[in-house]
Structure 1
Amino acid sequence: MRGPLPCADRRPEPDVSPRRLEHALRTALVVLSLASAAACAPATHPPRASAPEPTQRPAPSETPDRAYPALFAAVQQAELFDDQKTFADARPRREPDQVQADFLARRDESGFDLAAFVHANFDVPAPVATTDVKVGRTLAAHIDGLWPHLTRTDPAPKPHDSRLALPHAYVVPGGRFREMYYWDSYFTMLGLVESGERERARDLLANFAALIDAYGHIPNGARTYYLSRSQPPYFSHMVELEARIDGDTVYRRYLPQLRREHAFWMQGAQALAPGGATRRVVRLADGSVLNRYWDDLDTPRPEAWLHDVRTAASAPDRPPTQVFRELRAGAESGWDYSSRWLGDRRTLGTIRTTELLPVDLNSLMHHLEATIALACAKDAQPDCAREFDQRAAQRAAAIEAHLWNAKGFYADYDWKHRTVSTQVTAAALYPLFAGIASPQRAKLTATTARTQLLQPGGLLTTTLRTGQQWDAPNAWAPLQWVAVEGLARYGEDALAKDIATNFLGEVQRVFDERHKLVEKYDATGRAHGGGGEYPLQDGFGWTNGVVRALLVRYPPNSTAHPKHPDGP
């Protein structure tokens, strides 16, 4: 039985007492057992007619932690694999209830070998290998040659696989990420288009539309255990990207899915009183409606089961289920994890994601509403167009009223304490990306970004070093793109170019050293990206996409400041 690999990139596990850990473990197992039993029980009431029902939906018991809870907990607690995600992705070779029963019958036998049992009963997946792929000497050529290695055209998943069926080919990020992911894929699509792989980009968009049709929303990733949450809603940006290539028919084609995506994020909003919250929606005291991140479950994430149990055990004053929910909501944010979500800005056990109205999420929701309005207009639905124009305008006004810090930057809003965050993060650039900011606020935000976030290797995620991967000193490709696009939109061309060229320089440095692209980078240029729950991953989908698109916008040795196609 192997323990986890020592790795300086990983966030150290919280130091907890055996008693607290045992309590958190027991809570996790009890909640899992109850959830598994409930999943098998018949429904006692029909779904509400007002909510659009998906055409198909796997039973929650098909998630691996619910299909064989005792075995799943034993394997994850024993750290049988270096990465907790490995067993979540393993496929049982026979009926899950038979595997569970066999385990329960044999686990107390003398000499029982858990590792041998798992390998006899499961197909264990390998990482997506790209480290040794040599497909081009230059960055652009390497990326162009890497897409086929990251593309999957798998047939329908075999029985009991946690993968979700997808109708078209898809692109995976790489490394431990063997499936299609939501917000990653928008940035991947940017690069596919510039590499001349437009058909692959179209396939990704069609896959996401199919997921909305099947489940009523886009899950975090294409696994059953991701169905309880989504990720930053970039579907409208994907539609916009495709419409720039294929014209207005794209808006009309995907209008039903755009509306269902919006309905998912806004579920329960109509019935909310001022000061109330439900799922992903909060209504403020002034009647403004804004969104937060959420997860429908309050159990440990299967792909990080033991991490979550240990985190819950490190917070003795909080119910473990509350910590699990907040961790899951943080995973929906895509920033898993960051000091943004932490009550003390340092300790993961203080996570409070659901108490915050994130500036990036609400900027993306504004774009979704504006895109629906545009699509309705192009589909000759004037009432719908007016409704969503109004929704977008109301959201923009709420962002300006509540998510602006007078010190000169956009930030998250604590809806329980009615205060705007004092923390500067790369998310501050999202209102510029969405075209919401006034010219004056855009200029102030640019000044803040230059003085507090810009580094030799790109834009910092935050200014705090916590060991979390969405904090300093890391620079992430999608945040560089958002900043560059947003700043260029407001005429801040010099800063946009500095961010882009600094980041490209750091990517080139690592490429020259290792001949690969990775998930995240060190913005200081003195080390490699790290932190979080797992080692630095190779591949890497969204880095490839953003770098390929930035190389087109800022060719090597170029001195030009290209104008953004859209104005503020």
Structure 2
Amino acid sequence: MTQTSDQVLARGGQAAGVEHVAAADVLSPADRYQELFRAVQSARIFDDSKTFVDTVPRRDPADILRRYRELCHEPGFDLAQFVHAHFQHEPIPDNHYDSNPDQSLRAHIDGLWNVLTRHPKTHPARSSLLPLPFDYVVPGGRFSEMYYWDSYFTMQGLAQSGRPHLLRTMADNFAFLIDTYGHIPNGNRSYYLSRSQPPVFALMVELFETHGVRRAVHYLPQLKREHAFWMAGAEALKPGQACRHLVCLPDGAMLNRYWDERDTPREEGYREDVDTAARSRRPPGEVYRDLRAGAASGWDFSSRWLSDPNDLSTIRTTAILPIDLNSFLYKLERQIERLSQASGDSAGAAAFHAHANARRAAANRYLWSEADGAYVDYDWQLEHQRRELSAATATPLYVGMASQEQAQRVRHTIASRLLVPGGLMTTEQPSNQQWDRANGWAPLQWIAIAGLRRYGLRTLSEDIAHRWLETVSRLYERESKLVEKYALRSAGHAEAGGSGGEYPLQDGFGWTNGVTRNLLDAHPTHRAHHARAGRRR
């Protein structure tokens, strides 16, 4: 995290074959502005902690910090006035993602891609935004940058909307990030560089190949480098030890966990993290690390990571080996095996074949619950399976890691414990966290729908798809927009946007658009096609 932008670009620009990318400031706002950053966040100058770290400095950051140090102790110094004079903040328009009256759901989604697309030539200088060489799509709302795992689900809709240009540019942006930083950050912001997100690049390149964007073998070097990022330190680990993303279990098996290189408050959630750590009896650095790792999981936050589902300060993300993370890494290993064989590297293919088989065997020992007929997470510090069931249990089906018998049992468990009239619940556990009951999220619906279909379990797959389309279309009719998450309808209750978490419900919304657009094409007779903005049936 101490490398200069010149070093980053000299390595990354050449590796990615990019002739010119604007200079990136790889210092995060906390590092760049130091005590000014802490003062702004602690004083609550902005309602949302993310607002300040996304502002654009009006002059050289070093000059701003120097001027702050000169003025901050003077009588009558006004911190808010200083911040507004030296940083530019762009508010989110309230109706930016609303549809025109009587516009169909499909047409609304197709029209949103232009709204959500960002162009490198508009990247502001000296901000926390990491410049990218090509156009990309953002989620929307407060999320005005490209996110790693969000983008894969967004791409499902881009493919159906006939946007091969954006598929190609986003593919090359992700390759550029790996070449430049050694991994794909959580998002293209400097304050996200210390962590990644669920590793779905292997799934992306499969999608690119399916839709004729580019042959997957083109990205083999980046796939290998991403695998090396997640497996760093494996050679030196002994049973019972952990290093960064990797844990060596007592029998020598290795599985992965989420991790962040820093143990300080998240810069985009500074006040929230400081408050959370203050409620814990653990050292603050441990709590901050687990909060950051929870953000790396994409499930920020969920009872999956908590000892007490009602107390975020009990978060223990780094103690947990998640089933979805290890499923995605299994897919990465299988993809590298396949592409190595296709490129004539038989030895490399054999090595990754062994890696994938070892991971599947370890998952069957540690992450499969015979009693539940489901995949669960494993607490490697307490040496027992987590009992909480979540929609992540479908991920092994999505990547082909489950046996047919396991898939059948997961189907039964999902249908009996997670399925409600509005779709698939995130977990069985009610809490004030957004990745819990009874919220529903587009990526989790997609993983379950496609995973079940892969194993020929079409009845439940189609059922979830129909329920989800009904949920999205009914809210669209009432509010003329798509949102980040949904409160899943149960008998006698109307559809509503989801709740919980540390920020308000966001409109837009990239992955909801992507999954819904794909499902609309797959279900041409569903009544969601007749939904119109602002008009109830």
Q: Give per-residue Cα distances to partners, 1:234-255, cap 9 Å, x unaligned.
A: 10000000111228x6222100
**What does 1:71-90 correspond to in 2, within 5 Å?**
71-90=36-55
Secondary structure of 2:121's partner?
coil
Structure 1 residues 153 and 165 mapped into 2: Cα distance closer, same or farther (>3 Å)?
A: same
- Tell me, yes or no, if structure 1 residue 250 matches structure 2 residue 219: no
Structure 1 residues 398 and 528 mapped into 2: Cα distance closer, same or farther (>3 Å)?
A: same
Q: Tell me the C-alpha RMSD between the 2 structures.
A: 2.1
Among 314, 322, 339, which residue is 2:303 paired with? 339
TM-aligned CA deviation for residue 111 of structure 1: 2.5
Q: Give per-residue Cα distances to partners, 1:48-94, cap 9 Å, x unaligned.
A: xxxxx999999987211111121111111121112111101012122
Contact 1:156 1:165 in 2 (8 A): no
Match of 1:16 in 2: none
Among 18, 28, 32, which residue is 1:63 paired with? 28
Structure 1 residues 252 and 131 mapped into 2: Cα distance closer, same or farther (>3 Å)?
A: closer
Paired amino acid for 1:253: H
**What does 1:269-288 correspond to in 2, within 5 Å?**
269-288=234-253
Q: Which moved more, 1:156-165 or 1:213-222?
A: 156-165
Structure 1 residues 280 and 156 mapped into 2: Cα distance closer, same or farther (>3 Å)?
A: farther
TM-aligned CA deviation for residue 557 of structure 1: 3.5
Contact 2:254 2:359 in 1 (8 A): yes
Instruction: Name the CA distance, whole Å, in 2 between partners of 1:388 and 1:375.
Output: 10
Q: Give per-residue Cα distances to partners, 1:7-56, cap 9 Å, x unaligned.
A: xxxxxxxxxxxxxxxxxxxxxxxxxxxx9xx889xx9xxxxxxxxx9999
Paired amino acid for 1:552: D
Among 498, 502, 526, which residue is 1:533 paired with? 502
Among 133, 149, 168, which residue is 1:202 paired with? 168
Match of 1:461 in 2: 426
TM-aligned CA deviation for residue 451 of structure 1: 1.0
TM-aligned CA deviation for residue 377 of structure 1: 1.2
Match of 1:236 in 2: 202
Instruction: Name the CA distance, whole Å, in 1 between partners of 2:51 and 2:374.
Output: 40
**What does 1:292-303 correspond to in 2, within 5 Å?**
292-303=257-268
Instruction: Name the CA distance, whole Å, in 2 between partners of 1:142 and 1:379.
Output: 42
Match of 2:518 in 1: 549
Secondary structure of 1:254's partner?
helix
Q: Which moved more, 1:331-340 or 1:394-403?
A: 394-403
Contact 2:388 2:429 in 1 (8 A): no
Q: Give per-residue Cα distances to partners, 1:72-130, cap 9 Å, x unaligned.
A: 11111121112111101012122223212222322233322222111110111322662
Instruction: Name the CA distance, whole Å, in 1 between partners of 2:101 and 2:377.
Output: 42
Match of 2:534 in 1: none
Instruction: Name the CA distance, whole Å, in 2 between partners of 1:413 and 1:308.
Output: 25
Paired amino acid for 1:392: A
Q: Which moved more, 1:130-139 or 1:66-75?
A: 130-139
Secondary structure of 1:308's partner?
helix
Structure 1 residues 60 and 171 mapped into 2: Cα distance closer, same or farther (>3 Å)?
A: closer
Contact 1:219 1:226 in 2 (8 A): yes
Contact 1:60 1:66 in 2 (8 A): no
Secondary structure of 1:175's partner?
coil
- Tell me, yes or no, if structure 1 residue 99 matches structure 2 residue 64: yes
Match of 2:413 in 1: 448
TM-aligned CA deviation for residue 473 of structure 1: 1.0
Structure 1 residues 58 and 320 mapped into 2: Cα distance closer, same or farther (>3 Å)?
A: farther
Instruction: Name the CA distance, whole Å, in 2 between partners of 1:399 and 1:138.
Output: 43
Paired amino acid for 1:233: P
Contact 2:259 2:296 in 1 (8 A): yes
TM-aligned CA deviation for residue 230 of structure 1: 0.2
**What does 1:495-510 correspond to in 2, within 5 Å?**
495-510=460-475
Among 462, 469, 478, which residue is 1:513 paired with? 478
Paired amino acid for 2:506: Q
Contact 2:25 2:130 in 1 (8 A): no
Structure 1 residues 136 and 210 mapped into 2: Cα distance closer, same or farther (>3 Å)?
A: farther
TM-aligned CA deviation for residue 369 of structure 1: 0.4
Instruction: Name the CA distance, whole Å, in 2 between partners of 1:521 and 1:161.
Output: 32
**What does 1:312-351 correspond to in 2, within 5 Å?**
312-315=277-280, 317-351=281-315
Instruction: Name the CA distance, whole Å, in 1 between partners of 2:457 and 2:406.
Output: 12
TM-aligned CA deviation for residue 189 of structure 1: 0.5
Match of 1:31 in 2: none
Instruction: Name the CA distance, whole Å, in 1 between partners of 2:511 and 2:291.
Output: 23
Structure 1 residues 39 and 110 mapped into 2: Cα distance closer, same or farther (>3 Å)?
A: farther
TM-aligned CA deviation for residue 136 of structure 1: 6.8
Contact 1:184 1:541 in 2 (8 A): yes
Paired amino acid for 1:337: F
Gapped runs of 5+ residues in structure 2?
A: 8-14, 528-537
Among 340, 363, 385, which residue is 2:349 paired with? 385
Instruction: Name the CA distance, whole Å, in 1 between partners of 2:343 and 2:451.
Output: 28
Q: Give per-residue Cα distances to partners, 1:444-477, cap 9 Å, x unaligned.
A: 1111111111011110000111110000110000
Structure 1 residues 76 and 136 mapped into 2: Cα distance closer, same or farther (>3 Å)?
A: farther
- Tell me, yes or no, if structure 1 residue 215 matches structure 2 residue 181: yes
TM-aligned CA deviation for residue 134 of structure 1: 2.7
Contact 1:135 1:145 in 2 (8 A): no
Match of 2:272 in 1: 307
Contact 1:156 1:166 in 2 (8 A): no
Match of 1:46 in 2: none
Secondary structure of 2:31's partner?
helix
Match of 2:449 in 1: 484
State TM-score, norm by structure 2. 0.91
Match of 1:565 in 2: none
Structure 1 residues 507 and 61 mapped into 2: Cα distance closer, same or farther (>3 Å)?
A: closer
Paired amino acid for 1:537: Q
Paired amino acid for 1:516: K
Paired amino acid for 1:240: E
Contact 1:136 1:145 in 2 (8 A): no
Paired amino acid for 1:399: A
Among 96, 110, 116, which residue is 1:130 paired with? 96
**What does 1:404-443 correspond to in 2, within 5 Å?**
404-406=368-370, 407-443=372-408
Contact 2:483 2:497 in 1 (8 A): no
Contact 1:58 1:224 in 2 (8 A): no
Structure 1 residues 214 and 61 mapped into 2: Cα distance closer, same or farther (>3 Å)?
A: closer
Q: Which moved more, 1:423-432 or 1:90-99?
A: 90-99
Q: Which moved more, 1:225-234 or 1:81-90?
A: 81-90
> How many residues are aligned here?
509
Percent of aligned pairs sharing the same letter: 50
Structure 1 residues 135 and 364 mapped into 2: Cα distance closer, same or farther (>3 Å)?
A: farther
Instruction: Name the CA distance, whole Å, in 2 between partners of 1:276 and 1:62.
Output: 31
Contact 2:99 2:108 in 1 (8 A): no
Instruction: Name the CA distance, whole Å, in 2 between partners of 1:54 and 1:63.
Output: 23
Instruction: Name the CA distance, whole Å, in 1 between partners of 2:55 and 2:318.
Output: 31
Q: Which moved more, 1:103-112 or 1:438-447?
A: 103-112
TM-aligned CA deviation for residue 158 of structure 1: 3.8
Q: Which moved more, 1:428-437 or 1:533-542?
A: 428-437
Structure 1 residues 156 and 389 mapped into 2: Cα distance closer, same or farther (>3 Å)?
A: farther
Paired amino acid for 2:187: G
Structure 1 residues 442 and 57 mapped into 2: Cα distance closer, same or farther (>3 Å)?
A: farther
- Tell me, yes or no, if structure 1 residue 164 matches structure 2 residue 130: yes
Secondary structure of 1:62's partner?
coil
Match of 2:533 in 1: none
